[in-house]
Chains A and B, each alone.
Chain A
């Protein structure tokens, strides 16, 4: 699996949300996209799943332009866990998770035993089985987000995109869901692209970081090389101390009260 973005640009009216982004992503890696609010992370994700069409530039998946794939083909290759949102209709958790199988089903086909097995298995792994028959509209924010996460895993795609997917989860659920995604990267060679706010959580899971600012990619590379004090200061406008943490077995970042530059 390779994704190649070439000189991608996209704007809302006169405001350029993404400008001149060129990146090459490979399979078997956990990517993290970091950057301040409004830096174009979510727009970049929208371009990847073809929710938005780039004004300039192109995206190729496996060497073939994304425009040559049908929507359904794209949905069998990219799954998305968006930020939290409300669902106005009382679907049960199980019904929502089953929607992840739709890209694999014919229009008038019913889910078969294999679809049900996958739904059961993933609901077990994500701990959503406990409330499988409750309405999504009745769940707490965290429970709902885990259901949405399960739905994306059930889609069983080579690429999993997490758009601030754990921002409203407690640390235990955040780590458990990222671990599930990480496991798929290590064992099955899948690709995870995670837009994140928590730099330390990103440092814990991401093998490769993409740092964005004002719609541009400022820096990208393996986490150990990119995550430095100078990078954080230039991207986030805060002073920070970066160190190798033996307990986390990863780089970690600490701030002080007077960090703001």
Chain B
């Protein structure tokens, strides 16, 4: 059996194709839904006209529709999809390096750091970078948190997963107290902070799209490059060393990459939980734990999940519910369900 047919027979190509088509269909459907209904054929014509520069395709389409699609809906849709992909990617990587299928992008306090940074900017009404002030402060908060956690967790033997998890919990707890303090101080303005923390894709622009897509692409390249090492590291650091993997270096590179990807996601969209935990977890039952496949499949699944959820809250529900609340309210119980099922099913012991 040659290599290509073996790959095909193992189904990864088909899985990716199906997921890609699902995502593409969801983008089109979602673009048509909303306060202003736009037929799917019009959506396709507008997208094609923009992509190919053929304005003749727009004949007979309401002249407002192209503006709604390209300036309002697509930026939001593409941001939601790439944030979903980004969170899923860092979820896979965190679960892999922490050797813990229950880790998520926020285990190391990235979200708590972003929350404190954003609250800080909102509290002092910092506007030196215009509308980018809050995301930038959120990003700086995540970055500093990461440095603090790595500093706390590092020992002469490198970074152990237990140390990282514990440091993440401790640092997050301290930062959460900081957020509470700021909420207490700002008084009436507290709603702005709360609203930001609950996450939203409202009024996203193309800049947000390029920012998240850029971070995502970099992340996929780095994590894809080290995905085989990530597999080997599941056997423990001694075995990984004997198989030629520089565990210390690879763990550090992947940790920083995944944290930065999730920091960009959080900065752009606020704190959206459970996507980074659920997607890798569910996809692992589909593809197995091989990270080379898991990363690719999770990217699409994360994008589909978050875009789907955002479309529901934006266009289906009578009132928009903050996306972070919706993912936690639906994802949380669902996670409990599969977790419980696995405990009782005895599929594997952790």
Q: List the interface of chain A (C-beta within 8 A of B).
A: 12-13, 46, 49-51, 70-76, 78-80, 82, 85, 87-92, 95-96, 99-100, 102-103, 107, 110, 112-113, 135, 137-138, 148, 152, 155, 161
Contact = CB atoms under 8 A, between A and B. Distances in A.
Given A91-B288, A102-B228, A75 B234 contact: no
A110 B189 CA distance: 56
A93 to B, nearest CB: 12
Given A90-B347, A99-B232, A112-B3, A80 B245 contact: no
B34 interface: no
Chain A facing B: main interface SS? mixed
A88 B100 contact: yes
A91 B290 contact: yes
Contacts, number: 90
Contact of A49 (B242, B284, B347): B242
Contacts of B156: 12-13
Contacts of B237: 51
Contacts of B350: 88, 137
B288 A80 contact: no
Chain B facing A: main interface SS? loop
A135 B285 CA distance: 12
A71 B245 contact: yes
B297 to A, nearest CB: 15
Contacts of B290: 91, 95
A102 B243 contact: yes
Q: Is the interface on chain B under 10, 10 to 19, 20 to 34, or 35 or more residues? A: 20 to 34
Contacts of A102: 228, 232, 243-244
Given A71-B245, A102-B244, A91 B289 contact: yes
Interface string B236-250: 111101111110000
Contacts of A51: 237-238, 241-242
B225 interface: yes
Contacts of B100: 88
A249 to B, nearest CB: 33
B228 A107 contact: yes
A137 B156 CA distance: 30
Contacts of B245: 71
